[in-house]
């Protein structure tokens, strides 16, 4: 029996497919991003949150497995949680010497280290704010704040590089025979990874799956100084380089586990980016730093 013609005033729930969606008015395939901007009827604006709820309701009614919208919500919560964890590591690591220094018996620090701490902390707060805005479907505000974040990222890189060089020079003045070559090369590798991930995150800002992974990797790449402080304060008996490498690996593994849980496979940004970051850091610390070439470069920097 022939079915009744579709009612032009009736709008069915919008089901988002992996690459294409159905335009309910003219029955042609359109991209998901275009479909999100279409309204069910003239004069009505549909927000992304309404679309996600409609998709979840339709999937539930049909007894389907968790929809793409549901998995997207899970991923958004994960990135908010991971950004919060990284910020918490920074707060715990630098509390005795920066945030709560008035409660601890610690020596005075130069003004440039205070500036470095403020800018560094602002970067991690920015990453958490951006992840929260995406989870709350405040994409326009996320993009506006992101413009400021690019400048903040550049400032973080520049100040961290200057602080690293000044630290090595001050260490040379105190004891010329004990240069912190391992710290220098580890920090340089981390800053190089940070710059690359930040640039790739900006370039891929219209590809959400790539963008948020690059930005989280950028935050993870410069959290090691806080991890080192945690070791000094609570786990002093552990080897510093190995302790930091284990913590950083755990953060990358958490990203990979979330990828498998939500998409069924490890995303290539997580796999390639995580391996390149950990590999470059291990090479800098364990191969380049103790080598004669690494020592010569450090001495040329301070002499």
Structure confidence at residue 71 (pLDDT): 57
- Tell me how far apart the alpha carbons of residues 268 and 17 are, in angstroms, rounded to a whole number: 21
Helix, coil or strand: residue 20: strand
| Stated pTM of the model | 0.74
What are the average pLDDT values for consecutive 10-residue runs of the chain, which has 303 residues?
A: 48 42 44 43 40 43 49 75 95 90 85 92 95 91 90 94 89 78 89 96 92 95 92 83 90 96 94 95 89 87 77
Structure confidence at residue 42 (pLDDT): 43
For residue 16, the cross-strand partners are 21
- Tell me how far apart the alpha carbons of residues 77 and 250 are, in angstroms, rounded to a whole number: 18
Q: Which two tokens mark 224?
A: 């090691």
Helix, coil or strand: residue 239: coil
Helix, coil or strand: residue 16: strand
- Tell me how far apart the alpha carbons of residues 131 and 96 are, in angstroms, rounded to a whole number: 28
Q: Going by C-beta distance under 8 Å and a sequence separation of 6 or more, which residues neighbour residue 225?
A: 93, 187
Instruction: Give the torsion sign (CA, 207, 209, 213, 215).
Output: positive
Structure confidence at residue 236 (pLDDT): 81
Structure confidence at residue 70 (pLDDT): 55
Q: Which two tokens mark 85?
A: 């964890």
The Cβ of residue 80 has, within 10 Å, a number of other Cβ atoms equal to 19
- Tell me how far apart the alpha carbons of residues 121 and 93 are, in angstroms, rounded to a whole number: 11
Residue ranges in the chain assigned as alpha helix (H): 32-36, 48-61, 68-94, 111-135, 139-174, 181-203, 208-221, 224-234, 240-263, 268, 274-283, 292-302
What phi and psi values does residue 83 have, to the nearest 5 degrees? -65, -40
């Amino acid at each position: 029996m022939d079915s009744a013609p579709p009612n032009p005033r009736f709008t069915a729930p919008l089901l988002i497919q992996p690459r294409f969606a159905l335009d309910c008015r003219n029955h042609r395939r359109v991209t998901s991003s275009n479909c999100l901007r279409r309204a069910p009827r003239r004069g009505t604006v549909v927000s992304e949150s309404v679309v996600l709820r409609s998709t979840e309701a339709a999937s539930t009614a049909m007894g389907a497995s968790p929809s793409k919208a549901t998995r997207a919500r899970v991923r958004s919560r994960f990135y908010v949680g991971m950004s919060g964890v990284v910020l918490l590591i920074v707060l715990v690591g630098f509390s005795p010497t920066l945030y709560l220094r008035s409660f601890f018996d610690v020596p005075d620090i130069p003004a440039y280290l205070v500036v470095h701490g403020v800018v560094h902390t602002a970067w991690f707060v920015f990453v958490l704010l951006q992840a929260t805005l995406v989870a709350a479907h405040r994409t326009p505000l996320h993009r506006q704040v992101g413009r400021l974040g690019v400048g903040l990222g550049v400032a973080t890189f520049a100040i961290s590089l200057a602080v690293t060089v000044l630290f090595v020079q001050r260490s040379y003045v105190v004891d010329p025979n004990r240069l912190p070559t391992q710290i220098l090369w580890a920090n340089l590798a981390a800053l190089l990874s940070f710059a690359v991930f930040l640039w790739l995150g900006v370039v891929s800002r219209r590809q959400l799956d790539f963008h948020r992974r690059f930005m989280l990797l950028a935050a993870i790449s410069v959290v090691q100084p806080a991890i080192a402080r945690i070791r000094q304060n609570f786990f002093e008996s552990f080897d510093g380089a190995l302790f930091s490498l284990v913590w950083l690996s755990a953060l990358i593994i958490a990203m990979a586990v979330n990828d498998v849980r939500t998409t069924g496979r490890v995303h290539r940004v997580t796999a390639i980016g995580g391996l390149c970051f950990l590999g470059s850091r291990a090479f800098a610390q364990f191969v380049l730093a103790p080598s004669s070439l690494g020592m010569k470069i450090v001495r040329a920097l301070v002499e």
